[in-house]
Structure 1
């Protein structure tokens, strides 16, 4: 029975993590889609250049959402390492996303606004998102090991001023 609870609690945690990651990703998608279409149609930039700009802006929004909401309980002692890894894996996702756009637009000649949006914001973003989810949870926003979490909590409590109990 204990093993069932453990598996169930892990699945529940994973489901919450996926839901939060998805919510942050939805906001990132809106940012990415809006900036991409503004760059292509409003500023008349090349599609891949617009895609890279849009993805870079969305990466910034996603870092804030993932760091401070989805993975807020992660190890906060190594922020520069975390940010470096986040940018590295986000960069790989950027290449996946915009590589598919470039292949579709320039390689296959599918140049309509609808084709560009499907290639970048559906196929490319979908594959890039799966990669990012795996890499962020595996390498970037790693939780503190249980022993380190207990030691951190104990040191925090030891350093805290003593609580004064109210008299009855």
Structure 2
């Protein structure tokens, strides 16, 4: 019986720890989402009510790459110094390279959904772009959470 209690307590502690980690990751991700989607919409569609569109209205995939890159930088700072502050590597360069690789995959996922929406499905409205980006963000976020936990923010 003591073995079962010990296993149950360890399982509870592991879930409790992961819940806190996931919550912090979610807060950083939500703020990065604002940076990403806000930046994308400003670059492609301009300010609300503006008739001309944004400065990159003819380059939506490049705008997606730039906005996602800005969000990734924000995310690295937030995750390194808050979410995983006790687990980051001593070698900052290696951690940053692994983070950039994980976010490069996430960037391809997010930009790929915009590409598919625009070029494969022929959709070009703000609603279709944002729907594609949200779908990409969901997939990319699941991938990033796994990659950060498993490869990036691992104590050396």
Alpha-carbon distance in structure 2 between the residues aligned to 1:26 and 1:34: 12
Q: How much does 1:77 deviate?
A: 1.2
1:55 to 51, 68, 76: 68
Q: How much does 1:76 deviate?
A: 3.4
Aligned twin of 2:138:
126
Aligned twin of 1:35:
39
1:18 to 17, 22, 25: 22
Q: How much does 1:11 deviate?
A: 0.3
Residue 141 in 1 paired to residue 153 in 2? Answer: yes
Alpha-carbon distance in structure 2 between the residues aligned to 1:15 and 1:119: 28
Q: Structure 2, unaligned stretches of length 5 or more?
A: 47-53
Residue 109 in 1 paired to residue 122 in 2? Answer: yes
Query: How many equivalent pairs are there?
Result: 143
Alpha-carbon distance in structure 1 between the residues aligned to 2:44 and 2:35: 14
Residue 71 in 1 paired to residue 70 in 2? Answer: no
- Describe how 1:78-97 pairs up with structure 2 within 5 A: 78-97=91-110
Alpha-carbon distance in structure 1 between the residues aligned to 2:121 and 2:91: 43
Structure 1 vs Structure 2 CA RMSD: 1.0
Q: Give the structure with higher Rg (CA).
A: 1
Aligned twin of 2:50:
none
Secondary structure (helix, strand or coil) at the match of 1:54 reads: helix
Give me the TM-score of the superposition, normalised by structure 1: 0.83
Alpha-carbon distance in structure 2 between the residues aligned to 1:37 and 1:125: 15
Give me the TM-score of the superposition, normalised by structure 2: 0.89
Q: How much does 1:44 deviate?
A: 3.3
